[in-house]
């Protein structure tokens, strides 16, 4: 158990809908990273938050947004969903900078139908 | 183009054989990490290498960081079916923890 909790574990929704994925980092970790992993693909970096502030963005679509709350949990919002958004979405947390060893949750498997 | 290039992308060998997988970049990294991911699970950190030329061992796994801190390798001795998985290297660039595309390793009994 990495200590990172992601909910829900599975999500099936229709095209055009909006969903929210939730991540609770390990206790004390200030950084949260979000990744997208499509079938047989590597991890694509989406966004990094540190102590409530956005630190870096990857190739995150405009339809996607994220935030980190004062209690350090984070949410990834995906809107106007398309079939191609079907993927595993992982969050990872890290203690602090510059230590960037990341601890991953078990992921949310999103299926858009 | 990937910031971190891993090779080979796929590797299938027999139990007991040795293997090496590589992680290469044209950029210098202050550290590189190796993770293993099993189907349906999140990646799990195996090791972090920090110093150029550093060698770290984890049972039958040997990790090396290149002298110039641009590349790393993972060597597995006497591979076992339990070593099967996706091996990922990762490094930080501009506040982004970026990953290579991974090496999918299959060890056949």
pLDDT of A38-83, one tens digit each? 876 789 999 999 999 999 999 899 999 999 999 999 999 999 999 9
Residue A99 has pLDDT above 60, yes or no: no
Is B88 in Cβ contact with A56 (below 8 Å)? no
Is A58 in Cβ contact with B44 (below 8 Å)? no
Average pLDDT, chain A: 92
Cα–Cα distance measured from residue B70 to residue B28, given in angstroms and rounded to the nearest whole number:
5
Give the A-side interface with B, CB within 8 Å: 2, 4, 33, 35, 40-43, 45, 48, 50, 55-56, 58, 90, 92, 94, 98, 100-107, 109
> Angle at CA A26, nearest 5°, toward B35 and B2?
35
């Amino acid at each position: 158990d990495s200590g990172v909790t992601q909910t829900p574990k599975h999500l099936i929704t229709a095209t055009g809908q909006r969903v929210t994925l939730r991540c609770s980092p390990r206790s004390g970790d200030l950084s949260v990273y979000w990744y997208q992993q499509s079938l047989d693909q590597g991890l694509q970096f989406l966004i990094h938050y540190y102590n409530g502030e956005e630190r870096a963005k990857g190739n995150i679509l405009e339809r996607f947004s994220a935030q980190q709350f004062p209690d350090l949990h984070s949410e990834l919002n995906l809107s106007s969903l398309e079939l191609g958004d079907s993927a595993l979405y992982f969050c990872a947390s890290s203690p602090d900078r510059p230590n960037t060893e990341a601890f991953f949750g078990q992921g949310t498997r999103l299926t858009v139908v | 183009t990937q910031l971190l290039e891993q090779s080979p992308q796929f590797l299938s060998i027999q139990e007991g054989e040795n293997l090496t997988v590589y992680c290469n970049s044209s950029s210098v990294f202050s550290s590189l990490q190796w993770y293993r991911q099993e189907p349906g699970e999140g990646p799990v950190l195996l090791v972090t290498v920090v110093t150029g030329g550093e060698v770290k061992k984890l049972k039958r796994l040997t990790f090396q960081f290149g002298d110039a801190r641009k590349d790393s390798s993972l060597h597995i001795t006497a591979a076992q079916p339990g070593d099967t998985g996706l091996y990922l290297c990762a490094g930080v660039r501009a506040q982004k923890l970026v990953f290579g595309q991974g090496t999918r390793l299959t060890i056949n009994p």
